[in-house]
Amino acid sequence: MSVFDDEYVVRGRMDSNVLVVDDSAAIRKILQRVLRQTGMAIGAIHEAGDGQEALAVIGQHPVNLVLTDINMPKMDGLQLLASLKASQQFRAVPVVMITTEGGEAKVSEAVRLGAAGYVRKPFTADQIKEKLTGILAPELPL
């Protein structure tokens, strides 16, 4: 199944399904709300509490984007990114890192591994929208 199959086209536009990965349930909820506030064509938003859970979710629910924290238990965001990019099935899915990390080493590692970008916490809806512009389809008038 392709992420471009008919099930993703809603009311004449293509909605993007997103996976939000963070060990904080509160941050996951904030990111869901922020994604809806961007005005972008967002379809289903799936959640995972760490990288291992994210791999299970993405195996069951095709997504067009992964937003992931870097610091998480079990499997961190960098390990998740490496796993996705090593997978023939998921390597094309863009991954944006959401992090409190100020260290350039972690950001450089994420870029080296193939991250589509990163946003530092705390973030605004405008910052998320700016980062996702060009990655996801913009909201189309109905």
Burial of 69-91, coded b for 16+ CB within 10 Å and e otherwise, reads bbebeebbbbbbbbbbeeeeebe
Structure tokens at 102: 């100020």
Residue whose structure tokens are 């944006």: 96
Residue whose structure tokens are 């536009």: 13
- Check: CB of residue 59 under 8 Å from CB of residue 106: no
Global confidence as pTM: 0.84
Phi, psi of 110 (to 5 degrees): -60, -45
CB atoms within 10 A of CB 37: 14
The residues pairing with 93 across neighbouring beta strands, listed in sequence order, are none
Output the tens digit of pLDDT for each of the chain's 142 residues. Answer: 333 333 333 344 468 899 999 999 999 999 999 998 888 888 899 999 999 999 999 999 989 999 999 989 999 999 999 999 999 999 999 999 988 766 678 888 999 999 998 888 888 888 888 888 878 755 444 3
- Residues whose CB is less than 8 angstroms from the CB of residue 39 and which lie 6 or more positions away in sequence, other chains included: 129, 138, 139
| Domain annotation for the chain: domains and CATH numbers | 6-132 (3.40.50.2300)
